[in-house]
């Protein structure tokens, strides 16, 4: 009986410890979020953080499928942009939509690792990696995690398919000419997507001619449909009046 008295508390303690070790269930996509392809299937998608063609050179945590997910309000407004831009011979192409908060954390951890800069030539050829956070290129929170932001460009119709990304290829830097850098199949915007450089600032006066006109076309069409552009990145737009302004979601991106 004495042994039993000592055994029972130990059993309860072990059970408590085991219960604490159980992993919490993965958060699910909220009902107010949608797959963009369900509302606007004609919008092209090239979800960069699902694959290797991004500034880290690897698949990013939380991107389990190459899908654009957005808060419903954001997706509905983007669908309106698509309808209007198609009338003048273009289509939208998205590179990133909802971004799990865990991905933002991974960006910060990567930026603090000085040993990993093998994608510098393509994405930050003129900025030291140690300066990416201080210069604001990578932030601790993102409107993408609120389901309110989208990274987007324009592609002329009929669509010219982009060449598949080859990790072993020697591509030009993101600030090289449109003919030299990796082609997204889209319009010349003066830099590549996710280019950490002042030339990516939407109204940088060194961007002239066709590229400047293309940026203006994109900005005008997005702003007419309640999107606010981010002046430091020509591709980044956030919904005005977003539904979750204070919530940073962390559910993984999965196939529908």
Catalytic residues: 233
Q: How far is CA 155 from CA 64, 80, 106, 208, in A?
A: 26, 16, 30, 19
For residue 253, give both structure tokens. 């991106």
Q: Quote helix, strand, coil % in the chain, to nearest 5.
A: 30, 15, 55
Question: CA 192 to CA 176: how far, in whole Å?
Answer: 8
Token pair 């092209």 is found at 44
Question: CA 28 to CA 36: how far, in whole Å?
Answer: 17
Q: How far is CA 44 from CA 1, 11, 91, 158, 247, in A?
A: 71, 57, 7, 12, 27
Size of the chain, expressed as the number of residues it contains: 256
Outline where 112-208 has alpha helix (H): 120-123
For residue 26, give both structure tokens. 């993965």
| Full 3-state SS string of 188-249 | CCCCCCCCCCHHHCCCCCCCCHHHHHHHHHHHHHHHCCCEEEECCEEEEEEECCCCCCCCCC
Secondary structure element (H or E) that encloses residue 95, with its range:
strand 90-96
């Amino acid at each position: 009986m004495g042994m039993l008295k000592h055994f029972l508390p130990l059993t309860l303690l072990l059970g408590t410890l085991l219960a604490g070790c159980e992993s919490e269930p993965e958060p699910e996509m909220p009902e107010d979020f949608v797959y963009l392809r369900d509302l606007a299937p004609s919008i092209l998608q090239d979800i960069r953080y699902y694959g290797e063609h991004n500034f880290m050179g690897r698949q990013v945590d939380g991107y389990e499928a190459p899908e654009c997910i957005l808060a419903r309000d954001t997706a509905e407004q983007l669908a309106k942009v698509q309808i209007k831009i198609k009338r003048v011979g273009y289509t939208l192409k998205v590179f990133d939509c909802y971004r799990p908060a865990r991905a933002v954390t991974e960006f910060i951890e990567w930026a603090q690792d000085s040993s990993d800069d093998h994608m510098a030539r393509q994405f930050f050829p003129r900025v030291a990696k140690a300066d990416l956070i201080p210069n604001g290129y990578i932030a601790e929170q993102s409107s993408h995690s609120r389901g309110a932001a989208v990274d987007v460009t324009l592609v002329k119709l009929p669509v010219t398919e982009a060449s598949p990304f080859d990790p072993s290829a020697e591509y030009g830097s993101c600030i090289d000419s449109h003919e030299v850098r990796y082609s997204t199949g889209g319009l010349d915007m003066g830099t590549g997507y996710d280019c950490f450089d002042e030339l990516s600032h939407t109204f940088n006066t060194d961007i002239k001619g066709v590229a400047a006109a293309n940026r203006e076309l994109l900005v005008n069409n997005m702003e007419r449909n309640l999107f606010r552009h981010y002046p430091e990145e020509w591709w980044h737009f956030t919904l005005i009046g977003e539904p979750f302004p204070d919530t940073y979601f962390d559910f993984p991106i999965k196939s529908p």
